[in-house]
Amino acid sequence: MTNSIAIVYAVLATLGLKIFIDFLARAKARTLYPPGPRPKPLIGNMFDFPLTKHALCYIDWGKKYNSSILYAEALGNRVVIVNKRDDAIEMFEKRAKIYSDRPVIPMVKLMGWQYNFGFLAYGEEWRQHRKISQQNFNLKASRKYSLIQVKKVHQLLQALHDAPEDFDAHNKMLSISLAMEMMYGLEVKSIEDPCIAIADEAIKLGSDLLAPGGSLINIFPFLQHVPAWFPGATSRKQADIVRSLTEEMMRIPMDQVKTAFEEGRAVPSFFTDFFEKKQTFGASKEEEQAIQNIAYTVYGAASDTTISATGFFFYFMAVNPDVQRKAQAQIDHVTGSKRLPTLEDRMSLPYVEAIYREVMRLGPPLPLGVPHRLTEDDYYKGYLIPEGTAIFANIWAMTHDEDVYPDAFTFKPDRFFDENGVLNDDDRVLAYGFGRRICVGKHIASSTMWLMIASVLACFDITKTKDENGNDIDINGDILHLGLLKWAPYYYYCYSPDLCFHTQVKKPSLCVHSKRDLLQPRK
């Protein structure tokens, strides 16, 4: 026992000495790094990193240190924050060869999320996944999913009409059921479906663990070897729960697809098309694994950002009635108030397009994106950025940059029109990321969001709730941090005037009223 304790102390002493020596070496080179908070001995900037609303904190850092590029480090981990769009484009796109890797996050593997190809290291395995994704989700190929998108959006409209008070459930149904049918050809019937419940729980728990400060395992990787039963190993226990949920997320749709094939009722989808090809022509294990990983990534992660963006849209409409009425007038003019908008109407509805751009600008679901990793030392604007540094694109800072978007915190779709009233060329949605790591499903995400916006505005008025005296109840527009870099507007939903007036708990602050019945288009 005494020898064991001595060994532990010796290891800790050696580790401490190494950290101290590294600190001295970095302190010497500190003047070459981008500006940032001054590191403390041994721990660096460990206590300078924010635990919530990270993007806003890094904007304040930029002002304090008068720099759009910021540097901090903690216990051997180097981080650079990029607050300006031009810098992000230069690094992630013009220097993509060395800025396209991903940091190794120990918690990712512990939770079983290594199958999410967004976390894959930059290499041949990632290139295979990327190639398959581009073949299936490029602008032309993505159109094959349009009938599914229309069906799911129309189901959302019907659900809002029948039970508007269950908006949160309808929102999840839209995002996850769309992903399930596109990826696996499976129809999700209810919010209680295991596919939704398990995905919801796994993403919530996992996001908390991946957030900066969410787990010491990401700072001290050796802690991943501590067993879950060990006292105090809370995040290790939580990781095991997420891993179990993740395995179920992958198993359930796979089993259902195989059963559908055996019973002769499989329908075309991303995975079933491959499964049929495999049975006819064969396929390598690597290709099959890549197909499974991509399908899981879309189902398990990508759909969650749509949920957040949809919530932002409803909030912005409720607090901007003039914008809502202007969009509805344009929709009525194009459709004649006799049918629902279609994807073919997109070019004819420029104001709806501007609303889509402004929703994604003002409320990006992933304010800091997913970090890139530098694969070799680089000099940028005279600063040294060391190999292995994690680079975060502060998308929130870029989309709220007053130099680019005057009055940036105001919802103004008109900012996307030129002096002649024509949509300008600012059509890039930064929320989809940069360079070789840009979201491969951006075309599907874009068309889904646009169709949802146009369809909801065609059918419903979104307003603030009124109190017993008929006065509007202000909506709490605070941003709620939900863990892994993702935010959503924080407010209460309500869609029935009776419910609004008679609720016995916290007063809801948003209502959706049927504008007209277009759910069954007139002949």
Known binding-site residues for heme equal 439
User: Do the Cβ atoms of 83 and 398 come closer than 8 Å?
Assistant: yes
- The secondary structure element, H or E, covering residue 313 is helix 303-319
Rounded to 5°, the CA angle 285-286-288 comes to 65
- CA-closest candidate to residue 272, choices 224, 439, 264: 264
The DSSP bridge partners found for residue 372 are 391
Q: How far apart are the first and last CA of the chain?
A: 85
Binding residues: 439
CA distance 486 to 190: 25
Strands 390-393 and 77-82: parallel
Antiparallel, parallel or unpaired: β 487-489 and 378-380: unpaired
Question: Residue 423 and residue 351: Cα distance in Å, rounded?
Answer: 8
Angle between helix 234-262 and helix 285-297 axes, rounded to 10 deg: 110
Do 99 and 82 form a contact (C-beta atoms < 8 A)?
A: no
Q: Identify which of 298, 261, 265, 296 has the alpha carbon closest to the alpha carbon of residue 280.
A: 261
CA atoms within 13 A on the CB side of 253: 33
Q: Is 355 exposed, middle or buried, given 0-12, 13-18 or 19+ CB atoms closer than 10 A? A: buried
And the tokens for 138? Answer: 């490029």
User: What is d(CA 296, CA 413) in angstroms, rounded to the nearest whole number?
Assistant: 34
Q: How far out from the chain centre does Cα 301 lie?
A: 7
- Pairwise CA distance, residues 142 & 445, whole Å: 10
Q: Which two tokens stand for residue 161?
A: 């009409």
* 227 contacts 241 by C-beta, under 8 angstroms: no
417 φ/ψ angles, rounded to the nearest 5 degrees = -115, 145
Rounded Cα distance, 155 and 48, in Å = 46
- Using CA atoms, how far apart are residues 241 and 248, in angstroms rounded to an integer? 11
Backbone angles phi, psi at 461, to 5 degrees: -100, 135
Task: Provide the 3-class DSSP secondary structure of residue 79.
Answer: strand
